[in-house]
Amino acid sequence: MTATLIQSYPIDEIRACFPGLHQSVRGKPLVYLDNAATAQVPQQVMDAIQEFHGQNRANIHRAVHELGQRATESYDAVRGKVATFIGAPSERNIVFTRGTTEAINLVANSWGRASLTAGDNIILSEMEHHANIVPWQMVCDALGTEIRVLPVNDNGELILEHLDRLLDSHTFPMP
């Protein structure tokens, strides 16, 4: 199934939308993998941002004038498009953040604090970025919840055989 998915996914078409990927680095086409820190932006997004700043720059959900209404309509329309694109059940499931770190903090401090209780545990891996460890440490310290760590082998692969030792009836499934 994976091979079929990869074959049907229009990688070249999608890559063509990203001007930053139209360059070579050391004689090879650029492959950019640091998306959690700073994602490359497709031309369509750059065009929409330029239109917003040039034609519709105003506060969303607060301004009652024409520019504010247009900005709000555009913003809300994007939420629906994102929901459709990722297969979310509703646009109400879409929350915009400024980046990965803010998103992880939001999940840990909203979902985590509302769902975890003393004695529960969550599993993270040794390869997690500190931005995905610190928020969970803070939540666990506040709630009496435990973090368990899935180790990584020398090749940087998760040692899945260790899951049996980490999982128990108090392991809370991550969102």
In a domain, 50, yes or no: yes
Among 93, 114, 140, where does a domain finish?
Answer: 93
Q: Are residues 138 and 158 in the same domain?
A: yes
In a domain, 13, yes or no: yes
In a domain, 173, yes or no: no
Mode of pairing for the β-strands spanning 28-29 and 24-25: antiparallel
Q: Are residues 53 and 119 in the same domain?
A: no
Q: What are 97-134's pLDDT values in tens digits?
A: 988 899 999 999 999 999 999 999 999 999 999 999 99
Q: Averaged over 19-34, what is the pLDDT?
A: 92
Q: What are 151-162's pLDDT values in tens digits?
A: 999 999 999 999
Q: Which residues of 32-53 are buried (b: 16+ CB within 10 A; e: fewer)?
A: eeeeeeeeeebeeeeeeeeebe
Q: Are residues 14 and 51 in the same domain?
A: yes
Name the H helices within 9-64. 11-15, 43-51
Among 34, 67, 93, where does a domain finish?
Answer: 93
Query: Global pTM?
Result: 0.70
Asked if the model's pLDDT at residue 6 lies above 80, the reply is: no
What pLDDT was estimated at residue 174? 53
In a domain, 46, yes or no: yes
In a domain, 175, yes or no: no
Number of helical (H) and strand (E) elements in the chain, helices listed first: 8, 4
Measured distance CA(57)–CA(157) in Å, rounded: 46
Measured distance CA(136)–CA(120) in Å, rounded: 12
